[in-house]
Chains A and B, each alone.
Chain A
Amino acid sequence: MKAPLAFLCLMLSAAPVAAQELSVLAPQIADLARSETGDPDAVANIRDALWQVVYLSSLPSAGQAEVAEILTFRRADIQAGAGSGASGTTSAVLNPLLPAIFGVAFEDGAITRSVSGSTISLKVAPAGLICAARPLAAAAVARRDEDACRTFWRRVGVTASFDTTRGEKSTKLEDLQTLNNQLAAVTVRAEVLNLRTASGARYRRTFETRFESWKKAATALTAIDRETPEIEKAKTQVAAKLLELVQKPDWKGKAVDRRTAEITAIVKEAARPVTVPEVQATAVREAWLGALRADRELQNAVANAPVLTAEYAFERPDLATEPIGTVVPEGIRPPNLHSARAIYAQGLMKTSLDFTANASFSWFSDVRPGMSGSFRDFKAGVAGTFRLRDLANYGAPALSFAALYVYLHQEPLGLGLIAFNDAAINKPGHIGVFQAKLELPTAKNAMRIPLSFTYSNRTELINETDVRGQIGISFNLDALFVEGK
């Protein structure tokens, strides 16, 4: 009987500090739990953040709404890699960002082509790679610090796409002789404008108004004496007990989970009896909330800043084994294709909704008898992407809806042109595509898996309604370069 009674007493006395208030210390506690040596900085970071637990705990009902709002600003995820920059081309509308250094994407499926293929894309920012070779610079380049790679060329990326299905033939492709060379396309992309990666002085200049608003609010929070004698006493207790814990001989042998539980128990016990005068609590909570709101506005301004990218692509089609109409004789490769594209992204202020617009046109490298000129097509697309809440240890998923319009001016004598069923496939015309896509992060955002469903009224080659599913995988290998600065 004694044991359940003791347990009940313990639960009641522990009630004021709830798990959600302690969760604000989760990264600091995890930091110490992972430290074999019991890093004093990790202990100090827990001790000095104790005020947060106290001001979020044991509050009268008047402060509960503020506490609930403050808790919405908690970090749900601590990402290990650089931000997402890689994108697969399972997208109807392209993302404007390239990796800062290096990325790889594999995609299977097609958007406007009639025959789905599998493509591996290698994406590299050559200047970023050269800058990253300097000692200590790699991490700064990976996080897109402008000062780490001061050259215009860091804004230029190159993508080489290899069609891994070349060399194989499906029954539908029997009239096509595939190329042994799997190089399908080369793309050069240049960031004309990218304010989202601004850092240092440029960050301050670009977001000056929001920065100053945040600084004013944050300074008001720091100016308040948050530490009461009771909080100071609790801090001293936490520091002493944590140091005692990590100095015990068995600390190194304990599992991280057990260390975490023991650290949490110490923090909870120290914070439990602490109360602060309501006037003081209200002043701190209001200043804290004001600073957090200003911080969110600043971060939204950065995430929603405009990005403009220009892109040129060169694509090589396969050889034709049968004549393609009167334009391409047997054994001749159809004309190569050049494309120029502009990609613009801009977020909606105070939201997590990002709009991306693409416009492109393509033209053949030569005009052959039977062609109506070199102009091949015009494409325009728009996408709205919702940045969803981070998944702990994974990253932030993104849900997007996109619409793409393609005007095919003449026969699609380019990549993806397959000489079969020509009565139905070679007509110029209008193509409409709608796509819903969910991009799932994993490996702390270094790897992303886009899943999409696409509806189109027709494809380039087959004049029929088409519904497709696509899957891809992309690696942002910038994370490999993130090591000590």
Chain B
Amino acid sequence: MTIVGLRTYSVTTAELPLEIEVTAFRLPANRAIVGHPRVSKDGVLLERLEPVIEEDVAAFVIRYKIALPGAAPPLPFDISQTVDCWFNDSSPADAKYQIAIKSKNGDEAITNVRVPGLNPGTANLAFQVK
């Protein structure tokens, strides 16, 4: 997995599934909402994947995987996803959601969503599958 831009990652099919872990820091609960991964080719939306979300409430962690789509289009294609992160009014300025993306071969990339001026804080993740 290679970071090719802001929250944009280039992956090979051999590196799928990606394991994604969203952790809330300095918040009373993890209130991240994970959107459907959208599969598209040349800008045309082909499929919405249904993420299977596993939650570790005590650890403030939400985990899910992005696997190779069942009806994968010819390479290359894109998978994009929105993660909305909700904060409390009283959360400290250094509260954050950390999104850790791990590929099958062990590569890891981390991005952070910090306190927004208005809920939700958003992370748009983009994966270029080659």
Is there an interface contact between B36 and A223, defined as CB atoms closer than 8 Å? Answer: yes
Task: Determine which of B33, B90, B118 lies in contact with A222 in the assembled complex, contact meaning CB atoms within 8 Å.
Answer: B33
Is there an interface contact between A201 and B58, defined as CB atoms closer than 8 Å? Answer: yes
**Neighbouring A residues of B31 by C-beta, 8 Å:** 214-215, 218
**Neighbouring B residues of A48 by C-beta, 8 Å:** 7, 122-124
B residues 108-128 touching A (CB-CB < 8 Å): 111-124
Is there an interface contact between A227 and B93, defined as CB atoms closer than 8 Å? Answer: no
Decide if B84 is an interface residue (CB 8 Å cutoff): yes
Instruction: Write the B80-95 contact mask toward A (1 if CB under 8 angstroms, else 0).
Output: 0010101011111110
Known contacts A51-B122, A203-B29, A204-B57; is-contact A74 B117 (Cβ 8 Å): yes
Known contacts A200-B28, A482-B94; is-contact A44 B118 (Cβ 8 Å): no
**Interface majority SS on A: helix, strand, loop or mixed?**
helix
Interface core residue of B29, B38, B91, B113 (most chain A CB under 10 Å): B29
Decide if B77 is an interface residue (CB 8 Å cutoff): no
The distance in angstroms between the C-alpha atoms of A200 and B82, with both chains bound, is: 24
Nearest-neighbour CB distance to chain B for A31, whole angstroms, equals 6
Nearest-neighbour CB distance to chain B for A139, whole angstroms, equals 7
Nearest-neighbour CB distance to chain A for B39, whole angstroms, equals 13
Instruction: Write the A104-121 contact mask toward B (1 if CB under 8 angstroms, else 0).
Output: 000000000000000000
Known contacts A83-B90, A222-B33; is-contact A49 B115 (Cβ 8 Å): no
Nearest-neighbour CB distance to chain A for B24, whole angstroms, equals 10
**Neighbouring A residues of B90 by C-beta, 8 Å:** 79, 83, 299, 303
The distance in angstroms between the C-alpha atoms of A42 and B112, with both chains bound, is: 8
The distance in angstroms between the C-alpha atoms of A236 and B124, with both chains bound, is: 12
CB closest residue in chain B, given A83: B90
**Interface majority SS on B: helix, strand, loop or mixed?**
loop
Nearest-neighbour CB distance to chain A for B19, whole angstroms, equals 20
**Neighbouring A residues of B122 by C-beta, 8 Å:** 48-49, 51
Known contacts A47-B6, A223-B36; is-contact A78 B115 (Cβ 8 Å): yes
**Neighbouring A residues of B69 by C-beta, 8 Å:** none
Known contacts A27-B117, A78-B93, A485-B26; is-contact A222 B84 (Cβ 8 Å): yes
Task: Determine which of B38, B92, B114 lies in contact with A79 in the assembled complex, contact meaning CB atoms within 8 Å.
Answer: B92
**Neighbouring B residues of A211 by C-beta, 8 Å:** 29
Is there an interface contact between A44 and B115, defined as CB atoms closer than 8 Å? Answer: no
Number of interface residues of A (CB under 8 A): 64
Known contacts A48-B123, A218-B84, A295-B86; is-contact A200 B117 (Cβ 8 Å): no
Nearest-neighbour CB distance to chain B for A274, whole angstroms, equals 16
Decide if B9 is an interface residue (CB 8 Å cutoff): no
The distance in angstroms between the C-alpha atoms of A41 and B112, with both chains bound, is: 6
Is there an interface contact between B118 and A52, defined as CB atoms closer than 8 Å? Answer: yes
Decide if B35 is an interface residue (CB 8 Å cutoff): yes
A residues 28-51 touching B (CB-CB < 8 Å): 28, 31, 40-45, 47-49, 51
Interface size bracket, B side: 35 or more
Nearest-neighbour CB distance to chain A for B54, whole angstroms, equals 15
**Neighbouring B residues of A302 by C-beta, 8 Å:** 28, 88
Is there an interface contact between A299 and B118, defined as CB atoms closer than 8 Å? Answer: no
Interface core residue of B6, B35, B82, B122 (most chain A CB under 10 Å): B6
The distance in angstroms between the C-alpha atoms of A147 and B59, with both chains bound, is: 9
**Neighbouring A residues of B27 by C-beta, 8 Å:** 199
Decide if B60 is an interface residue (CB 8 Å cutoff): yes
Task: Determine which of A27, A43, A44 lies in contact with B123 in the assembled complex, contact meaning CB atoms within 8 Å.
Answer: A44
Is there an interface contact between B29 and A26, defined as CB atoms closer than 8 Å? Answer: no
Is there an interface contact between A24 and B6, defined as CB atoms closer than 8 Å? Answer: no
Decide if B64 is an interface residue (CB 8 Å cutoff): no
Is there an interface contact between B116 and A143, defined as CB atoms closer than 8 Å? Answer: no
Is there an interface contact between B82 and A198, defined as CB atoms closer than 8 Å? Answer: no
Decide if A23 is an interface residue (CB 8 Å cutoff): yes
The distance in angstroms between the C-alpha atoms of A71 and B118, with both chains bound, is: 8
Task: Determine which of A81, A219, A303 lies in contact with B33 in the assembled complex, contact meaning CB atoms within 8 Å.
Answer: A219
The distance in angstroms between the C-alpha atoms of A78 and B84, with both chains bound, is: 19
Task: Determine which of B26, B86, B93, B123 lies in contact with A143 in the assembled complex, contact meaning CB atoms within 8 Å.
Answer: B26
**Neighbouring A residues of B91 by C-beta, 8 Å:** 79
**Neighbouring A residues of B116 by C-beta, 8 Å:** 24-25, 27-28, 45, 49, 75
Nearest-neighbour CB distance to chain A for B18, whole angstroms, equals 18
**Neighbouring B residues of A49 by C-beta, 8 Å:** 116-117, 121-122
**Neighbouring A residues of B60 by C-beta, 8 Å:** 200
**Neighbouring B residues of A222 by C-beta, 8 Å:** 33-35, 82, 84, 120
The distance in angstroms between the C-alpha atoms of A75 and B111, with both chains bound, is: 23
Is there an interface contact between B119 and A485, defined as CB atoms closer than 8 Å? Answer: no
Task: Determine which of A70, A82, A215, A226 lies in contact with B118 in the assembled complex, contact meaning CB atoms within 8 Å.
Answer: A70
Is there an interface contact between A31 and B114, defined as CB atoms closer than 8 Å? Answer: yes
Is there an interface contact between A215 and B33, defined as CB atoms closer than 8 Å? Answer: yes
**Neighbouring B residues of A204 by C-beta, 8 Å:** 29, 57
Known contacts A79-B92, A222-B33; is-contact A44 B28 (Cβ 8 Å): no
Decide if A80 is an interface residue (CB 8 Å cutoff): yes
Interface core residue of B27, B114, B117 (most chain A CB under 10 Å): B117
Complex A-B: 14 CB contacts under 8 Å: A27-B93, A28-B116, A45-B121, A47-B124, A75-B89, A78-B92, A81-B92, A200-B59, A203-B29, A211-B29, A218-B31, A299-B88, A299-B89, A444-B93
Known: A25-B116, A291-B120. 15 other contacts (CB 8 A): A41-B114, A45-B121, A48-B123, A75-B118, A79-B91, A200-B60, A218-B86, A219-B33, A221-B84, A222-B33, A222-B34, A235-B124, A239-B6, A302-B28, A482-B26
Enumerate the 7 nearest inter-chain pairs by beta-carbon distance, A residue then B residue, closest first.
A199-B28, A24-B118, A78-B93, A44-B6, A24-B117, A48-B122, A222-B35
